[in-house]
Structure 1
Amino acid sequence: MKKRSFILLVGAIVVATAAGFITRSSWMGGSSNAQGPQRPRMVSVELAKAERKSVPVDVDANGIVTPISSVALKSRLETTIVAVHFEDGARVNEGDLLFTLDSRQIDAQIEQAEGVLAKDQAQLEGAQRDLRRYNDLVGKGATTQVNVDNARTQSDILTGTIKADQAALDNLKVQKSYTTIRAPFAGRISAANVKVGNFVRPADVAPLAVINQMAPVYVTFAVPQRVLVDLRESMTKGVSSVTATIPGRQNSETGKVAMVENTVDATTGMVTVRGIMSNQSETLWPGTLVSTKLIIRTEDAIVVPTVAVQRSQSGNFVFVVKDGVARIQPVSVDRTSQGISVISEGLSGGESVVVDGQLLLSDGTRVEPRAKKAGA
């Protein structure tokens, strides 16, 4: 009886399991049919607009700051330094007194020349009186014409002597002016290489100090010869400009092109360009290496973020999204600068292009836009 009961129990369990499986299969099938056909796959992408705007045609290069004027101050006399009137590295203005040299010897020579001049002037006055007297006497027949001629000759000789004396005095006064050294232009002066009491002379190799003009300044750099024609045309129209930036800093100065070298370096194919910057705040220091941007002109063009441009064996293309569908659009890229690509063919402006998520796309893929990433 026990064996028979066990067999009946096992049979009941098997029947119940089979019935449950059949019921589940029917329910699953019915549910699948209720859902209908599956929706196409959607890809989340980030979009940007193709814009038409004014963009610069520019060339990046490395340059160096050079002063427009730089003078090494030297003594024109053999004498000693009496006074130094500036602080090392100070800013000086045109005409500021910088050095005073010992002038006692020249002062004595000037006094001597003044004495010689005064003596010769007195002699000239005497000769002129004799000439007037002889002219009166010859009219009365009291003297000869020879005496008149001799008096006139003596007067002329003394006149020439006085001119020579005056020239010698003027030369000494010029020499005296060399005993005070003044700034020939406004700028910044270097450290003084001499101090009070040092003996200086014109043959010295080292200058007393050096003054560099700080505002304005030149920025010299080289550009490829292919931009030379466009650059010269823009200079004629007055639309070119130069921006110089100190590497690692936001400080920059903007100016204009002052000069283009008259020859192209045959070994490098580069031509030297010089820009002039106002530099009123002395941002650019002579000798500083800077990053320069030569803006030749500006022009209207279609631009997209460079990350939107994809490359394939057939050329460049972008994914253009319209009505939620991404389509491949071949484009021609004219140039790329600072994360922006200028499109010469393929876009007309206003299109939505994919800038992130292109790896999951193909022609005709349905997409949905998403917000830009933080910090993008």
Structure 2
Amino acid sequence: MMMRLPGALAVVSLIALAGCSDGGQQSGPPTANVRPQVSVVTLHPQAVVLTADVPGRTAASLVAEVRPQVTGIIRARNFREGSEVKAGDVLYEIDPAVYQATYDSAVAALKKAEAAVPSAQAKVDRYRSLTSQDAVSRQDLDDAASTLAQAQAEVAAEKAAVDSARINLDYTKIRAPISGRIDASSVTVGALVTEAQTTALATINQLDPINVDVTQSSTDLLELRRAIASGQIKSSGTNVSVALRLEDGSRYDEAGAFQFAEASVAATVGTVTARATFPNPDRLLLPGMYVRATIEEGVAPNSFLVPQRAVTRNLKGAPVAFFVDADGTVHQREISVRRSVGNSWLVAGGVTDGDRVVVEGGQRIRDGQAVTAAEVQIDEATGDIRQVASAAPAKDAAAPHSID
């Protein structure tokens, strides 16, 4: 009995091993025919609006430094510092006593000059009739005419003196030259101001509309002009819209209009300054604020946009992307990238209409591999992937899987 036990154990062990082998073959996963699933976007030519994101600073559309035009003592200040003023508002009043007296004197001198004209005119008329009768010499008539001319010239001179005195008297009321927001006053009531002083009494800034001065690289500008000249980009002309982002990254609600670009390049930094104007009804923008402006440069017709998430670099540093053929085979292809547009690349070559580019799952595939392609959409604002209503798997592909 003891001698038969080892043989029996050997038989049982062989049966157990055979059972384990069969079970292992039945439970092995059939991975040979499973294709990896990728997400693709179908490319089509389109008109692409090209923009430039450039830094800039705000500046008042009009700036006026208020200065006195006559000398005198400030008698009154008629505005609140930091308030809005309108053109023509009286801001300061200078003591007018001296200028009023000068004006009154000029008026009196004018009246005196005017009083001499009728007498001189009458004398000329009388001498002219007497000359025809040879009762008065021709010389006497000429002298009378000269006296009349002098009297009339004196009247003209006194009228000019009255106008000058009136202007100086009016200058004792210092008025706002423009409408806008006035800053702090540099003088108080009782201060002596002079017509030749260099210090402004106050400064007025017109904030609505407001200017935004931006700088753009001269290299980028040359590239843009070459593209327009070659027909790759259609110029937006003079009707160029401008969008604005504030210092905190928020978008400014009002759209701006491009005004002009300077005709020279700053030698030290190699940039060109351009100006846009924005409505500023709420006075949200103040002079000197740092902003970023998005300027419309033109439109690139019949162009392709490839999502940036689909593009990588090969060992040579060239941009490449995976494309899925009609039979579900994936191939890596070099593409020519011109510039970024939002979350996509504007491509100059390497793609054709109807190409399906892989935007997700590219890490799990290799060139020449068969895949299952699911059509998706890319959110232009965020770059996120959205599943389309129905996904069309590639020909002869396995049953579709959910996107990883």
In the TM superposition, residue 324 of structure 1 has moved relative to its aligned partner by: 5.4
Q: Which digits, 9 at most, give the CA deviation of each residue in 1:61-84, with x for residues without a partner?
A: 221222332111100111122332
What do you get for the CA RMSD once the two structures are aligned?
Answer: 3.4
Q: Which runs of 5+ in 1 are unaligned?
A: none
Q: Structure 2: how far apart are the matches of 1:345 and 1:285?
A: 45
Q: 2:351 aligns with which of 347, 354, 367?
A: 347
For 2:210 and 2:239, the matched residues in 1 are separated by 20
Q: Residue 340 of structure 1: CA displacement? A: 1.4
Report what 1:320 is aligned to.
323
Deviation sequence 1:266-297 (CA, Å, 0-9, x none): 44433332333344444432212221233210
Q: Return the offset for 1:319.
A: 2.0
Structure 2 distance, partners of 1:289, 1:366, is 50
- Which stretch shifts more, 327-336 or 226-235? 226-235
Aligned partner letter, 2:331 = R
Aligned equivalents of 1:204 and 1:103: distance in 2? 19
What percent of counterpart residues are identical? 26
Residue in structure 1 matched with residue 60 of structure 2 by the alignment: 67
Match of 2:160 in 1: 167
Tell me by how many angstroms 1:170 deviates: 0.7
Could you tell me how far apart the structure 1 residues matched to 2:115 and 2:377 are? Answer: 99
Aligned-partner SS, 1:284? coil
Going by fraction, where is helix more abundant, 1 or 2?
A: 1
Structure 1 pair 28–235 and aligned structure 2 pair: CA distance change class (3 A): closer
Q: Answer yes or no: is the 8 Å Cα contact 1:120–1:158 preserved in 2.
A: yes
Q: Which structure has the larger Rg over C-alpha atoms?
A: 1
Aligned equivalents of 2:45, 2:79: Cα separation in 1? 57
Greater alpha carbon shift after TM alignment, 203-212 vs 274-283: 274-283
2:193 alignment partner AA: V
Q: 2:155 aligned with 1:151, yes or no? A: no
With the length of structure 1 as denominator, give the TM-score of the two structures: 0.83
Q: How many residues align?
A: 368
Q: Is the 8 Å Cα contact of residues 208 and 280 (structure 2) preserved in structure 1?
A: yes
Comparing 131-140 and 291-300, the one that deviates more: 131-140
| Corresponding residue for residue 111 of structure 1 | 104
TM-score by length of 2: 0.78
Paired position in structure 2 for 1:336 = 340
In structure 2, list runs of 5 or more residues that go unmatched.
229-233, 385-404
Q: Which moved more, 1:120-129 or 1:351-360?
A: 351-360
Task: Give CA-to-partner distance per residue, 1:104-163, whole Å, 9 cap, x none.
Answer: 211111111111111221222233334444455666776665554443332222111111
Q: Secondary structure at the match of 2:64?
A: strand
- Alpha carbons of 1:227 and 1:250: their partners in 2 closer, same or farther (altered >3 Å)? same
Q: Secondary structure at the match of 2:276?
A: strand
State the match for 2:274 in structure 1: 273
Contact 1:46-1:372 within 8 A present in 2 as well: no
Looking at structure 2, the residues matched to 17 and 368 of structure 1 have their Cα atoms a distance apart, in angstroms, of 55
The alignment status of 1:20 with 2:12, answered yes or no, reads yes
CA contact (8 A) 2:50 2:341 kept: no
Task: Give the letter for the 2:342 counterpart.
Answer: Q
- Measured after TM superposition, the shift of residue 210 of structure 1 is 0.9
Q: Could you say which residue in structure 2 is the equivalent of 1:81?
A: 74
